[in-house]
């Protein structure tokens, strides 16, 4: 007899252009959760172009129960020079509050691990906010380890433009 787990009632699938409103819903929910809603300027038009246009920048896996969006994972291909292999960089993983505690986050990450193995990729990596103790515990429970010797840097906005102009 097969035991049915709560996460089994959910479907995971690759997103399509018709899913852009659901993707934006997840992105806005994540931005609110991370206390960064003021930085979220994503629009449906930009998502259509960057995810489903001529040169897609990322892939999205949607989780749903029936017609209801439950969460998503948005990722893109990275590359490790040390491994000489591509990998997956998980940009965002988010499960809507009503669907938490059912193993869906684990299923989304397991799907990415399966995708990496299926494609011959060497790793899956991501960043987590230092204050998000629940997420850190969850990731550690999966066997993920923090990269304590590394600091993430970002170049954006005016600094990005200024550096680009300096190179002309």
Is position 139 annotated as part of the catalytic site? yes
Place of tokens 């749903």: 64
Q: 76 and 116 in contact (C-beta within 8 Å)?
A: no
- 10, 79, 121, 139: the catalytic one is 139
The vertex-36 CA angle with 34 and 39, nearest 5°, equals 150
Active site residues: 139
């Amino acid at each position: 007899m097969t035991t049915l787990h709560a996460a089994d009632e959910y479907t995971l699938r690759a997103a399509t252009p018709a899913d852009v409103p659901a993707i934006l819903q997840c992105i806005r929910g994540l931005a609110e959760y991370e206390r960064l809603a003021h930085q979220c300027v994503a629009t449906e038009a930009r998502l259509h172009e960057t995810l489903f246009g001529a040169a897609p920048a990322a892939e999205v896996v949607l989780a749903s129960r029936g017609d209801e969006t439950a969460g998503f994972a948005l990722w893109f291909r990275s590359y490790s020079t040390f491994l000489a292999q591509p990998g997956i960089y998980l940009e965002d993983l988010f499960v809507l509050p009503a669907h938490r505690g059912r193993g869906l986050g684990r299923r989304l990450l397991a799907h990415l691990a399966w995708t990496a193995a299926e494609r011959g990729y060497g790793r899956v990596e991501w960043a987590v906010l230092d204050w998000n103790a629940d997420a850190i515990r969850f990731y550690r429970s999966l066997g993920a380890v923090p990269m304590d010797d590394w600091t993430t840097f970002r170049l954006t906005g005016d600094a990005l433009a200024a550096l680009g102009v300096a190179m002309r």
